[in-house]
Homo-oligomer: A and B are copies of this chain.
């Protein structure tokens, strides 16, 4: 037991070179031993996708006191699985995924590779936190996001999380975030999702785009908090069973 410092696994879906993950590393550096194990390029929108038809590889990029950085050919979830199964010599005390360039509020938790990796940490019973900034630009200013992310990360490291629960933190694009609210996931969906275009031979092709449409508004949902200039923290569950409808279904079917 030579090394008693907390071990923190860091990953993302924008790839190991993105500004967001490197800002996160700087911000958490003194909290423990950091291992970055992240995709070798962008993997946005990969959700909890796993790679089974081709094998995975990983590469050691950097090794210095308290910080080791690997890149991996897989998805964000592949990264977590490979790091935990094959690379780390002990279970980490925390996983932090991000900082994502772009928000993962509302239904985005369903599509996000950042949140897929966070859920995967949770499945391994590693206290896991996903962090996203509502700014897609490559050179976004992560300072407020780092400030708030660090507070939550310190809390998670200290307190842990219940079995099967992980955290989704979103931070608005603002030079001064007002604070943080504990929220529920906003109910809604994307509409007008494709931009029609043409390939070189004139055949139609479809680019994913779209606008988010809220269905039900709740004062405690994450988009309400973000719109008011607060960061939102949504605790999320791995178990997606609808227990209320399960009871009704038992008598119906």
Verify B249–A199 contact, CB threshold 8 A: no
Verify A123–B110 contact, CB threshold 8 A: yes
**A contacts with B, residue count (CB < 8 A):** 76
Copies of this chain held together in the complex: 2
Verify B123–A206 contact, CB threshold 8 A: no
| Chain B residues whose CB sits within 8 angstroms of the CB of A165 once the complex forms | 242, 245
A242 and B235 alpha carbons, distance in the complex (Å): 5
| Stretch in contact with the other chain, from A16-24, A28-36, A90-98, A187-195 | A187-195
Q: How far is the CB of A81 from chain B (nearest CB, A)?
A: 5
* Interface flag for A228 (CB, 8 Å): no
Which residues, 87 to 126 on A, are CB-close (under 8 Å) to B? Answer: 107, 109-111, 116, 119, 123-124
- Quick one: which of B77, B86, B110, B240 contacts A109, CB cutoff 8 A? B240
Nearest 9 CB-CB pairings of A with B: A55-B205, A47-B48, A47-B47, A45-B50, A235-B242, A49-B49, A237-B242, A236-B240, A235-B245
What residues make up the interface of A, taking CB atoms closer than 8 Å to B?
42, 44-53, 55-58, 75, 77-78, 81-82, 85-86, 107, 109-111, 116, 119, 123-124, 152, 155, 159, 161-165, 180, 182-185, 187, 189-190, 192-194, 196-197, 199, 203-208, 215, 233-243, 245-246, 249-250, 252-253
